[in-house]
């Protein structure tokens, strides 16, 4: 892609109420995706949905590497910051939250993204959720 460059993708079974850019958790044994919840210390693999989908056995492409367009909450995102799970299922935020960092992911915007914008470009490399922080 001339805009975002090279990416890495995997096929996962669809999750309910998924939008393009949603953050999903997935089980690497069953390849089933679910929208990422607002739960700390999950320590699991995540990906970014490339298509809208509903629950079922439909396989949908998900991104795990490169520059991904991700859904975010209604807060401004400064340039080049870590991202965290938000209270809104399937979305990320720049606000630090213990046990909720998306490791292997950092915003790739060069200027602040306004709170009214629903997506942010994030550089990802096989992202996963932060585990126990004790």
Give the rounded percent of residues in the chain with a pLDDT score beyond 90: 83
* Mean pLDDT on 21-26: 96
User: pLDDT for 29-85, tens place per residue?
Assistant: 999 999 999 999 999 999 999 999 887 668 999 999 999 999 999 999 999 999 999
Per-residue confidence (pLDDT) for residue 105, from 0 to 100: 98
> What is the distance between the alpha carbons of residues 80 and 118, in angstroms, rounded to a whole number?
17
> Across all residues in the chain, what is the average pLDDT?
92
What pTM was computed for the model?
0.93
> What is the distance between the alpha carbons of residues 113 and 120, in angstroms, rounded to a whole number?
7
Q: Do 126 and 59 form a contact (C-beta atoms < 8 A)?
A: no
- Asked if the model's pLDDT at residue 1 lies above 60, the reply is no
> What is the distance between the alpha carbons of residues 75 and 116, in angstroms, rounded to a whole number?
7
The residue with tokens 């390849």 is: 31
Q: Do 94 and 73 form a contact (C-beta atoms < 8 A)?
A: no
């Amino acid at each position: 892609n001339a805009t975002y460059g090279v990416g890495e993708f995997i096929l996962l079974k669809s999750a309910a109420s998924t939008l393009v850019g949603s953050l999903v958790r997935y089980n690497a044994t069953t390849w089933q995706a679910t929208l990422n919840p607002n739960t700390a210390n999950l320590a699991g693999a995540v990906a970014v949905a490339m298509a809208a989908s509903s629950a079922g056995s439909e396989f949908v492409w998900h991104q795990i590497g490169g520059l991904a367009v991700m859904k975010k909450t209604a807060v401004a995102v400064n340039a080049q910051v870590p991202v965290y799970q938000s209270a809104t299922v399937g979305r990320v935020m720049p606000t630090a939250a213990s046990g909720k960092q998306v490791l292997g992911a950092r915003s790739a915007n060069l200027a602040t993204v306004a709170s009214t914008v629903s997506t942010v470009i994030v550089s990802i490399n096989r992202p996963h959720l932060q585990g126990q922080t004790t």
